Chains A and B, each alone.
Chain A
Amino acid sequence: MTQRQGGTGEVRLLGGEMLNWSDLDGGHGPGPVRGSAAGSFLGVARGRTLIAGPHDPSLLDRVPGATVLVRGVQDAELLAGRGDVTVLCGSVAKLGGEAPFDTIIALAGLECLGTAEHDELTWAEALDALHGVLRPGGCLVLGVENLGGFHRQIAWPRPLDDGQWTPVSDETRPAGLRHLRAAVGAATRAYGIYPGLRDARVVVDEQATGGVVEAALGRAYEGSGVVLADPAAVAVEFVRQGLGVAAAPAWVVIASDDEAALPDVPVDGSAGPVGPTLESLVLRAAGRRNMPQLRELLGQWRNGVAAGVPAGQVVVAASGELVPLVPEGAHSVAVAELAARLYRGGFPHPWVGVRSAAELAGMLEAMTGGPDAATSVPGGDAASSPLVGAAVSVVELVAERERLAGELAEARAQAAFFEEELNAREAEVRQVRRTVELLSGSGPARAGQAFVGGVRAARRVLRRRT
C-alpha cells in the first residue's frame, strides 16, 4: 500500500487506481452524485462511515471524518485537499484489509467502484466487497439505476462514455426491485429517485402521491433537454398510478441485517399541504369539458394568494384553499406556461379555433373575465414566456405535425367553402346590378346618374391636382 500526499490530507492507494481519470469532473462520464435529495441519504450515516464512489464534494461535508473511496487519483487528491476525510483510491475489490464500517454509502452505484486496471468485477462481487467491510448490524445505502425505469424508454440513444468499457451489465445484477432487495440485505427499505442518481432531486416511497410530489417532479425536470416524451408528465403519471418507486429512474436501497438499524429518510410529499396541484385539476377539468369548474379554478387562481405562481406549483387543499409552493412571478407568465402545457403534447384541449399557446393564454385569461382580457392583443402578454410553443419531446413534435396537417386540410376545406360563397355572392351582385341598370332607365334615375357623373368628374380633377 502506497501513500500519496494530497493538498492537506493523505491518500491511500489501494491498488487498481486509475491515474488519468476523474469521476468528479464529469469529463469521462456522468459525473458524481449530486442533488438536494442526495443529502438526505448522507444524513443517515452513523458511526464509522465509508462513502464509496463519486459523490459531489459538497455532500461529504455532511459526514465529517468519513472514509472516502474513489478510483481516480485526481479525485482522491482533490478530496484529500478538503481535509477531515480519509481518502482511499483504487478498486473496491481491494477494500478487504479495512476495518469494518458502521455505514457504507454508495449512491453512485456499484458500476463505478471497479476500475479499468483491476480484473472486471461482477455486480455481485462488488456488493460482496462492500458487505465484507460492513460491520454486523451496520447499514448499506446503495444507489442502483433502474434498468426498467421509465427514463430509459424515453431517452435518445447515446454514445457510450469513457467509464462504460464493459457496456452491458453481468448476469449477477438483480433484475427488478424484489431481487435487488433480496440481494442487498435481510431488512431493506427502497426509495425511488428522480431524475436520477447523478441529479437526485426527488425521493419517493411506495406511498408517494399528491400535489406536493407532482410539483416537486415538475421542478426536478425543469429545463431537461428534448427526449422522446415529456419526462415530468410521464413521471407524474407513474406516481399517480402508484408506480413511483417501481418506475423510477433509480433506486436507493438501505439494507441491514437488523430491521431496527434501518433509518428513516424524509421523502417528498410526506409533509406540506395535501391535495392535487392546480395544474392537474385544470387539466382534468379541461379534459372533462367541465368549463364552469375550469372558469372557477382559473378565477380563484388569478384573484387569490397563488396568483403568479405556476399552476403546477400550487396545491389545492381539501378546503379548496390554494397553497403556493414557490414564490410568485408575473401572472401572465404563469398563465402562458399553463397554456403551453395545455396546448402541447397532443393534450385534447377543448378550445376550438385556438391556433397557438399564446392565443390559448389569452383565452384562459378571458375565461376568468379578467379586466384586461377584452383589450389585450391575443398572445401579446404571453409571447415573452420561453415555454410557449416549444415542443420538448419527440412525441410532441409528432403530435404537432399531426395537428398542423389537420389544420392545413381544414384550411383548404374552408378556402373551398369561401370560394363557393364568393361565387354565389358575385352572382347575386351581378343580378342586382342588372336590376339597377334596368331601373336606371327612368327619369329620376337619369338625373341621379348625371349627379354621380359630375361627382366622378370632380374627383378626377382633384386627383390630378394631388
Chain B
Amino acid sequence: MHRANDYYGHSAVLARYCGVPDELPPRIHGYLQHGWNIGDGMAGDHEWVAGVPLFLWSERTRRRAWSLGRRHTYVVGAPIAYLMLLDPAPADAPREGTIWYPFHGWEGQHVKGDHDRLIDQIRSTEPGPVTVGLYWQEYKTPSVCRRYEDAGFRVICHGYRGDARQLGDAGFLEGQLAELRRHRRVASNRLSSAVWYGILAGCEPAVYGDPMTLENEDPTHGGQARIRRQWAELHGEQVDGAVARAAAVEELGADRLAPAAELRRLFRWR
C-alpha cells in the first residue's frame, strides 16, 4: 500500500519469510511499521487512510495506537525478528568492539549538537574498536565522515533505505544484522530501532551521550524525555542484559511473530 513498507528492505524480508519471491517486493495491503517509535507506530510521512490496516511491531504500540483512535491494527512483530529466524547467527562467530549509531535526522531534518564532545565520550567509554553507523545523508557528507574517521573509528553505512519513488538498497537489513552480529556492544545517544535490533541480535546495549536536538521535533508523544522515563533501565553506559533483552523482545514483538500463512493472508499475498 505505502512505499514506506519497502524501506530498509522490510517487505522483501517478509516476502522471503512468506515464500513469495519476486523481483519487486510485493505490495502489502496495509501500512507496515518501519521504525520503532512512541506514537501509533506510523512515521510522519505516512498518509493514514481509514480502514487500511496498520501492521505494528508490539502489543504496547497496538494499545497506544488504539488509544489514539487507530482501530485496524495487528501486531506482526518487526521484520528484523523474521530476518533473524531466516538467517540464524553462526554458532561461534566472534564478536568484537562496539557499533555506535549517532542519532540522525531523516530527510529534511537537521540535528543540532556537539559531535566532538560525543566522540570524546565514545572514545572514553567504549573498551574496544568502534564502528560508527551513519545514516546515508551523513555518510554522504565528507565532513561528518571525516570527523568520525579522524577519531579512529571505522565508519559504515547500511545503505539507502528507499523512498516513495525509488527502492532502497537491497539487503539493507541483512547488512545491518551482519554488522550487529560482529560487535559485542551496540550503542547510541538515543534509544532507537538500531539499539533494539542490536539487543535482539545479542549485543550488550548502551545509551549515553548528548541525545542532541532535532529541528522541528514532534513533541506530541513526549519525545526524548518520555523515552528516558519509560525505558530508564536501558539508559547508561552499562545496562542489565536480561532486562534489555526482555524489553527488546517486547518492543520488536519477537515473541509474537506470525506464521507465514497468516502473514500471507494479512498482507493479501496469496
The interface of chain A, by Cβ under 8 A from chain B, is 289, 291-292, 295, 350-353, 359, 362-363, 365-370, 373-374, 378, 406-407, 409-411, 413-414, 417, 428
Chain A residues with CB below 8 A from B74, complex form = 350-352
The answer to whether A374 and B260 have CB atoms under 8 Å apart is yes
Chain B residues with CB below 8 A from A409, complex form = 50-51
CA of A370 to CA of B264, assembled, Å:
13
Q: Which residue on A lies nearest to B47, using beta carbons?
A: A417
The answer to whether B51 and A414 have CB atoms under 8 Å apart is yes
Q: Which of B19, B49, B265, B266 contacts A413 (CB 8 A)?
A: B49
The answer to whether A366 and B51 have CB atoms under 8 Å apart is no
Q: Which residue on A lies nearest to B29, using beta carbons?
A: A353
Q: Chain B, interface size: which category? A: 20 to 34
CA of A157 to CA of B92, assembled, Å:
75
Tell me the residues in window 142-190 of chain B with beta carbons closer than 8 Å to chain A beta carbons.
165
Chain B residues with CB below 8 A from A362, complex form = 265
CA of A292 to CA of B30, assembled, Å:
21
Q: List 15 A-B contacts (CB under 8 A).
A: A289-B59, A291-B256, A295-B258, A295-B259, A350-B74, A352-B72, A367-B261, A367-B262, A368-B259, A369-B260, A373-B265, A410-B51, A410-B52, A414-B51, A428-B165
The answer to whether A292 and B261 have CB atoms under 8 Å apart is no
CA of A409 to CA of B75, assembled, Å:
24
The interface of chain B, by Cβ under 8 A from chain A, is 19, 29-30, 47, 49-54, 59, 62, 72-75, 165, 255-256, 258-262, 264-266, 268, 270
The 4 nearest A-B residue pairs measured at CB? A410-B51, A352-B53, A366-B261, A373-B261
Give min CB distance, A372 to chain B, whole Å. 9
CA of A135 to CA of B133, assembled, Å:
95
CA of A310 to CA of B123, assembled, Å:
64
Give min CB distance, B118 to chain A, whole Å. 40
Chain A residues with CB below 8 A from B255, complex form = 292
The answer to whether A407 and B264 have CB atoms under 8 Å apart is no
The answer to whether A289 and B62 have CB atoms under 8 Å apart is yes
The answer to whether B259 and A410 have CB atoms under 8 Å apart is no
Give min CB distance, A235 to chain B, whole Å. 30
Dominant secondary structure of chain B at its interface with chain A? loop
CA of A359 to CA of B62, assembled, Å:
23
CA of A366 to CA of B260, assembled, Å:
8
Dominant secondary structure of chain A at its interface with chain B? helix
Most buried by A among B256, B259, B268: B259
Give min CB distance, B226 to chain A, whole Å. 24
The answer to whether A417 and B29 have CB atoms under 8 Å apart is no
Q: Which of B19, B256, B260 contacts A292 (CB 8 A)?
A: B256
The answer to whether A414 and B260 have CB atoms under 8 Å apart is no
Q: Which residue on B lies nearest to A407, using beta carbons?
A: B51
CA of A350 to CA of B55, assembled, Å:
12
The answer to whether B261 and A374 have CB atoms under 8 Å apart is yes
The answer to whether A352 and B260 have CB atoms under 8 Å apart is no
Q: Which of B52, B261, B265 contacts A414 (CB 8 A)?
A: B52
The answer to whether B264 and A374 have CB atoms under 8 Å apart is yes
Q: Which residue on B lies nearest to A424, using beta carbons?
A: B164
CA of A292 to CA of B73, assembled, Å:
16
Q: Which residue on B lies nearest to A362, using beta carbons?
A: B265
Chain A residues with CB below 8 A from B50, complex form = 409-410, 413-414
CA of A151 to CA of B13, assembled, Å:
54
Give min CB distance, A330 to chain B, whole Å. 19
The answer to whether B266 and A352 have CB atoms under 8 Å apart is yes
Knowing A414-B49, A414-B51, say if A353 contacts B72 (CB, 8 Å): yes
Chain B residues with CB below 8 A from A368, complex form = 259
Chain A residues with CB below 8 A from B30, complex form = 352-353
The answer to whether A366 and B259 have CB atoms under 8 Å apart is yes
Chain A residues with CB below 8 A from B75, complex form = 289, 291
CA of A353 to CA of B144, assembled, Å:
45
Chain B residues with CB below 8 A from A428, complex form = 165
Give min CB distance, B262 to chain A, whole Å. 5
Q: Which residue on B lies nearest to A376, using beta carbons?
A: B270
Chain B residues with CB below 8 A from A413, complex form = 49-51
Give min CB distance, A323 to chain B, whole Å. 26
CA of A303 to CA of B12, assembled, Å:
31
The answer to whether B266 and A353 have CB atoms under 8 Å apart is yes
Q: Which residue on B lies nearest to A417, using beta carbons?
A: B49
Knowing A289-B62, A367-B258, A370-B261, say if A353 contacts B268 (CB, 8 Å): yes
Give min CB distance, A16 to chain B, whole Å. 64
Give min CB distance, A67 to chain B, whole Å. 64
Knowing A289-B59, A378-B270, say if A369 contacts B53 (CB, 8 Å): no
CA of A373 to CA of B260, assembled, Å:
10
Apart from A289-B75, A428-B165, 17 more pairs, CB < 8 Å: A289-B62, A295-B258, A352-B74, A353-B29, A353-B72, A365-B261, A366-B264, A367-B259, A367-B261, A369-B260, A373-B261, A374-B19, A374-B261, A374-B264, A406-B51, A410-B50, A410-B52
